[in-house]
Structure 1
Amino acid sequence: MKLWGRANSTNVRKARWCAAELNINPELIEVGGAFGGVDTPEYRAMNPNGLVPCLEDDGLVLWESNTIVRYLARRYGQPPFTPEGTVAWAEAEKWMDWASTSLTEPFKQLFLNRVRRTPEERDNAAMEQGRQVCAGLMPIADDALRERRFLAGDSLTVADLPLGCFAYAWFSMDIERPDLPHLAAWYQRLTERPAFQTAVMTPLT
């Protein structure tokens, strides 16, 4: 199994975390960002979007990080990490897609300006707007975690992976955050998992 991407990508973290939870260790081929390589004819033949991650497993090539997570969980996982049944999958996928669609753009504006740009290069208005939107969305997850340990129940599932990768940067950046105790406790539980430590808690760059 091969995984193309870079360790500091939120979407690549998601795929690597999933693999680590399943005791899979795909070969990481570093492309994207400072590594380049995503515009080559060879890479575009696998992923015409020119984005990361991209997974190859036994001849199957997949892109889109949530699709990669679902595939790995369905092929190599088992309950409770892999949801069992239509209803359980729907509950998990709701949170996967919510994090990936609602948080991605505001988080990108916050992260790019706060972490990847110098103070002179920052768009402070975009950074603050991104922070405010994220701060307005995080209470949705906090409320869901009020009476459960993880987003889809009392055990870690694929539901937690997309938001967990955002949460790592959210709690690591030097920014103003709302006081959300249930979200913070959930994040603390994630940080105690070896797979999260190795796949997600890499330097923010």
Structure 2
Amino acid sequence: MSRRHLFLFLAAIKLGVLGAMTAPAASALSTDGMPASPRVVATAATPATDFDQAAATFGRARDGDHAAIAPALAQFTALLQAQPDDPLLRVYAGAATAMQARTTWMPWKKMGHAEDGLAMIDQALARLTPAHATELRRGVPVALETRLTAAGTFLALPAMFHRGERGRRLLEQVQHDPALAATPAAFREAVQRLAAKEAA
């Protein structure tokens, strides 16, 4: 990374807003092949309950509680280990991995967390299939939430990562998807908030 890029990166430590994505289902963090994260022991709870608990932890991390980042990542890592092909779990894992940039002042570590997280998000998007357009997680199609989560992360990144245009395309794709109208109000509000933030 050049000195200029390093300067831009340090000047744009808006990575604190990384992961500010879907309010209703801020969920999944996993790391299949990513840097080691804290291990958690699987509980006897149902997958939906585990998902909800991880989403709640992720929501706290997204809203600025740095102490919640590692637990959220650990919880979603455990979920992804059980379902490695789930793009929604993978996209949240990527978002949480990138969010770790908040927890260090060392530029190379910030960059590493961001790049590792982006790689996972790219993998999640590549794993979407037509079936994910109808598969629901808490009333939201997996494809929609995966794309919105990716969009929110991309749009929060400094320009040096060159993800803004893709983030805008993903957001527009969600906005124009006919399935959006049938999603829970909280998800639709999350889409509107991200769109309003991008338009400001």
TM-score range, shorter chain: 0.3 to 0.5
- TM-score, scaled to structure 2: 0.39
Which has more radius of gyration?
Answer: 1
Higher normalized helix content (fraction of residues): 2
